[in-house]
Amino acid sequence: MAVNFPSIDPAQLHPVAGVTLGWAEGHIRKPNRKDVLVISLDEGATVAGVFTANRFCAAPVIVCREHLAKVQASGGIRALVINTGNANAGTGEPGLADARATCAELARLTGLRAEQILPFSTGVILEPLPVDRVKAALPDALAHRDAANWYLGAQSIMTTDTLPKAVSAQVTIDGHTVTMTGISKGAGMIRPNMATMLGFLAIDAKLAQPVLDEMVKYVADRSFNCITIDGDTSTNDSFIIMASGRASLPAITSTADPAYVALRDAVTATAQSLSQLIVRDGEGATKFITVKVEGGADVAECRRIAYSIAHSPLVKTAFFASDPNLGRILCAVGYAGIDDLDVSRTDLYLDEVLVAKGGGRNPDYREEDGQRVMKQAEITVRLRLGRGEAEATIWTCDLSHDYVSINADYRS
Amino acid sequence: MAVNFPSIDPAQLHPVAGVTLGWAEGHIRKPNRKDVLVISLDEGATVAGVFTANRFCAAPVIVCREHLAKVQASGGIRALVINTGNANAGTGEPGLADARATCAELARLTGLRAEQILPFSTGVILEPLPVDRVKAALPDALAHRDAANWYLGAQSIMTTDTLPKAVSAQVTIDGHTVTMTGISKGAGMIRPNMATMLGFLAIDAKLAQPVLDEMVKYVADRSFNCITIDGDTSTNDSFIIMASGRASLPAITSTADPAYVALRDAVTATAQSLSQLIVRDGEGATKFITVKVEGGADVAECRRIAYSIAHSPLVKTAFFASDPNLGRILCAVGYAGIDDLDVSRTDLYLDEVLVAKGGGRNPDYREEDGQRVMKQAEITVRLRLGRGEAEATIWTCDLSHDYVSINADYRS
């Protein structure tokens, strides 16, 4: 069902020195599936993250923020623990206690302090976390730790995902090879606002904490914050970059360092691929749609219009049907809330086909040209506003029968 | 498929003195269906309307606004002409010329001025209006004019509607009977922002133009502006109130008149029923959902949260599945964009069942209670914010397989 989802060879996912992954079958919601993952970091790593803007954020998100706030004093983050099957969201004080208890148990088993551990959960909201089962799975996860486990790690964090998601790359900076490998999960409730459901990316470069803090925001804004499946911003969105510091590249202590820019751009490209995998495996997705809005007065209005198009159920069903019913796109532009939008300066392209010019149908537009593009599995909607120089790009998918089936059946 | 859609007896729709309706088969998009309607008003009527906030508003909306702006100078609105099958939106200058030509032709046939006519279109966007076919249908529509034609009128404005929509009522004010009858259409692309796809409501009371101008906004804000099916604000939304002035009730010339308040409230109730018919016949709808947000700091934030719940595809599919996966509702509350929302003061009710209390699961909540309510055809989601005294109510429906089917097939 996934759209042009690349075949991932587990052997091609580079280990990242200083990082190991261990999984367990914790029977959190269903038996006989990997649903607990521990990522361990050697001493000296730096870690930074961005999290959901949802006000009903999950208990583990609150604990992650607390632990990252005291990261310098606590000696640095040394482990991440992730469970699927239960989001530990909408669970109030008991949920917070469960997230803390999970960290405490992993700390006890590893000799770390609880503050050196970041907890993550994903699954059903508003149900108590079966914390005893999570804790019981930890010894098994620790026993399975291996630097070559990235693919198994990607499998261990899946919920409604049909395929594990991982991307790996190497880049040479100043003659030094830097390795980066990441995993992500998510297929529905996807409209990240800070990060996606869950994304974990490790690099072996050494980055000072303030530099990594800045990089994680930069990267998230150009990757996980640019995807949407159904417009639902999850309670648990988290995107984490771990820098193990084991590469030979000298430590990066300033964002003014040219090596920073080179590394940041390489990490951004990897994170974009990783985030696009989520769209390609979007619930029921049959098309991968790029929505590019150009010529806006600022990036915010370009993003607003792009999301208005990407969230319209009518636009999404037209893509599903391969029906060039493209007036629906103009309609979604019109209600995006840009009060001073002059539609007579607006052009709409479908790939290279000019559909609407100056706010009306292009006289030269032929239905068969639109039809040809609509039949493709990958389509770019390009809107030119004629208001300025800003632009924004969003990646999304169509709305199909299977989306309804999957979400009507999710808990059964 | 429609949800508790009341049976409408054409004979129970009261004629409104001074108002006639005439239909025609114009073959605008498909043969052998009523797709052109003319509503004629006797001299002395007042007319007011509200229209879509979509920046890509249709050509007829632009012409309606122009004609209403000069209504006093032109001698008053005397006819409405409506076509289905083509929205005349995204059609630029040629579309405007077509809307004007339709008015001019009807003016020629009736001896009115073009400015005394309001044009309306609904159907596919971005395709040229077949204006010659609309014009050619007008003599037939005029020949069919009859005060008893409200049900046929409701049929003549349907697109993806499965049922004609009409509501009629009589109210006694100061001993005088006032009659009101309205029709509406719409089933998808429904998230009116000023009014709905199309709603026309006639009353036989006499109202001064400024009074009617105020009433139409008041009524729309409490009826058509409170419904949503898919969140898509149409290019053609229009809601019109016509006051023929033929009732024995003395003319209302001030909103301070107690008769104004009585009439306004009666018209609001009728318009609410009319707008709710659109939700009950929503594309693929199997449930009628009332979302009530209470205890907000202001009405705007209550509406924002209510729409966030009502538009969430995950919430809507859970209703379709009768699955009390109610964490999805809290999630939608959390991403509604109320940055200072204190979720620990939030309570969630499903009908009378207290699901979440103080931002977490109510310890006394039992899944079977949620399940029982979720199986009903009509469900009220009630959210208490604990921030103030404001409240807002939105009516919506679920998201089913049939919504996808209908919108993937609409043009075929």
Domain ranges of chain A: 10-280, 288-409
Whole-number Å distance between alpha carbons of A359 and B397: 32
Sort out which chain A residues have CB atoms less than 8 A from B405's CB and list them.
401
**Span B263-321, pLDDT tens digits:** 999 999 999 998 888 889 888 899 999 999 999 999 999 999 999 999 998 899 999 99
Q: Which candidate from B57, B126, B314 shows the least CB-CB separation from A327? A: B126
Of the CATH numbers 3.30.420.40, 3.90.1150.10, 3.40.50.920, 3.60.70.12, which one belongs to the domain with range B10-280? 3.60.70.12
Residue A173 pLDDT grade (very low, low, confident, very high; cuts 50, 70, 90): very high
Least confident range from A233-242, A319-328, B192-201: namely B192-201
B367 is in an annotated binding site: no
Cβ pair A404:B403 closer than 8 A: yes
For A224-247, what is the mean pLDDT? 84
Where on the phi/psi map is residue B88: left (φ > 0), alpha (ψ -120 to 50), or beta?
Answer: left
Whole-number Å distance between alpha carbons of B167 and B269: 10
For residue A278, what pLDDT is reported? 86
For residue B196, what pLDDT is reported? 44
pLDDT over 90, % of chain A: 69
Q: What is the DSSP string of B279-338?
A: HHT-TT---EEEEEEEEESSHHHHHHHHHHHHH-HHHHHHHHTT---THHHHHHHHTSS-
Cβ pair A313:B232 closer than 8 A: yes
The alpha carbon of residue B180 is apart from the nearest alpha carbon of chain A, in Å, by: 32
Contact between B102 and B135 under an 8 Å Cβ cutoff? The reply is yes
CA-wise closest residue to B315 among B191, B223, B226, B231: B231
| B278 backbone dihedrals φ, ψ, rounded to 5° | -65, -40
Q: Taking CA atoms, what residue in B is nearest to A52?
A: B335
Rg (CA), chain B: 22
| Sequence-separated (6 or more) residues with CB below 8 Å from residue A358 | A344, A345, A346, A347, B92
Whole-number Å distance between alpha carbons of A305 and A297: 12
Contact between A122 and A161 under an 8 Å Cβ cutoff? The reply is no
Sort out which chain B residues have CB atoms less than 8 A from A92's CB and list them.
344, 358-361
Residue A131 pLDDT grade (very low, low, confident, very high; cuts 50, 70, 90): very high
For residue B412, what pLDDT is reported? 46
For A275-304, what is the mean pLDDT? 92
What ipTM was assigned to the predicted interfaces of this complex? Answer: 0.79
Distance of CA A301 to the CA centre of its chain: 22
SS3 assignment, position A86: strand
Sort out which chain B residues have CB atoms less than 8 A from A125's CB and list them.
325, 327-328, 330-331
| A262 backbone dihedrals φ, ψ, rounded to 5° | -60, -45
Q: Tell me A5's DSSP state.
A: P
Q: Taking CA atoms, what residue in A is nearest to B318?
A: A408
- Give, in order, the Cα–Cα distances in Å from A389 to each of A297, A380, B319: 7, 19, 43
Sort out which chain B residues have CB atoms less than 8 A from A231's CB and list them.
311-313
Cβ pair B335:A232 closer than 8 A: yes
Q: Which residue reads 């006289």 in tokens?
A: A363
For CA atoms A120, B364, A132, A112, the dihedral sign is positive
**Average pLDDT of each block of 10 consecutive residues along chain B (412 residues)?**
86 94 95 95 92 87 94 90 92 94 98 96 90 98 97 93 91 93 83 64 92 92 84 80 92 94 93 89 91 96 94 92 91 89 93 93 94 95 96 92 80 52
Sort out which chain A residues have CB atoms less than 8 A from B91's CB and list them.
360-361
B412 is in an annotated binding site: yes
Cβ pair A331:B232 closer than 8 A: yes
**Span A250-267, pLDDT tens digits:** 999 999 999 999 999 999
Taking residue A43's Cβ as centre, other Cβ atoms within 10 Å add up to 11
What does the block give as tokens for B87?
Answer: 């929205």
pLDDT over 70, % of chain A: 97
Whole-number Å distance between alpha carbons of B214 and B202: 16
Active-site residue list of A: 196
| B315 backbone dihedrals φ, ψ, rounded to 5° | -65, -45
**Packing angle of the helix pair B401-409, A401-409 (nearest 10 deg):** 170
Mark out the alpha helices in A222-342 (DSSP H runs).
258-280, 299-311, 313-320, 327-334
CA-wise closest residue to B100 among B125, B74, B63, B70: B63
Q: To probe the interface with B, which of A194, A317, A387 has the most B CB atoms within 10 Å? A: A317
Whole-number Å distance between alpha carbons of B120 and B138: 14
Q: Which candidate from B57, B232, B408 shows the least CB-CB separation from A312? A: B232
Cβ pair B234:A331 closer than 8 A: yes
Residue A292 pLDDT grade (very low, low, confident, very high; cuts 50, 70, 90): very high
CA-wise closest residue to B381 among B321, B282, B275, B302: B302
Q: Taking CA atoms, what residue in B is nearest to A234?
A: B331
The kind and range of the H/E element at B22 are strand B19-24
Cβ pair B55:A334 closer than 8 A: yes
The alpha carbon of residue B264 is apart from the nearest alpha carbon of chain A, in Å, by: 29
Whole-number Å distance between alpha carbons of A287 and A257: 40
For residue A403, what pLDDT is reported? 85
Residue A411 pLDDT grade (very low, low, confident, very high; cuts 50, 70, 90): low
For residue B347, what pLDDT is reported? 95
The alpha carbon of residue B189 is apart from the nearest alpha carbon of chain A, in Å, by: 7
Cβ pair A327:B127 closer than 8 A: yes
What's B288-409's CATH class?
Answer: alpha beta
The alpha carbon of residue A304 is apart from the nearest alpha carbon of chain B, in Å, by: 14
For residue B1, what pLDDT is reported? 62
Whole-number Å distance between alpha carbons of A329 and A307: 11
Catalogue the E-assigned strands of B108-197: 117-124, 165-173, 176-185
Active-site residue list of B: 196
Catalogue the E-assigned strands of B174-269: 176-185, 198-203, 238-243
Sort out which chain B residues have CB atoms less than 8 A from A412's CB and list them.
321, 323
What does the block give as tokens for B181?
Answer: 């009858």
Cβ pair A334:B56 closer than 8 A: yes
